[in-house]
Amino acid sequence: MKRKQQLDITNHEIWKDRNIKPEAKEIYAYLYSEGFDKTISNINIGRVQKEVKSIKNIAFRKNLQQLEEYKYIKFREYDTGLYEYTIC
């Protein structure tokens, strides 16, 4: 019988990483939960705005760039506000 994986990022290294802004950590947690157990996931800014109310597309992209710079994700914007990403 195959055992299901559990989603638990409470001990993830990102929480201790001082290079990552709190807003980016919140976004990462959301992306991680959305992309859990997938190779590639898609997200749009509208879905993220339901969780992080004040974020706009430019700020979201900058947070993604920061997460990519520190090798937490890889992403590409394939249309305005539409992103494809992989958790590293």
CA distance 86 to 53: 23
CA distance 16 to 85: 22
Q: What is the pLDDT of residue 3?
A: 47
User: 């559990």: which residue's tokens?
Assistant: 6
Q: Which residues contact 4 (CB under 8 A, 6 or more apart)?
A: none
Q: Which residues contact 46 (CB under 8 A, 6 or more apart)?
A: 81
Taking a C-beta distance cutoff of 8 angstroms, is the pair 50, 75 a contact? Answer: no
**pLDDT tens-place string over residues 8-53:** 667 778 889 999 999 999 999 889 888 877 788 889 998 888 888 8
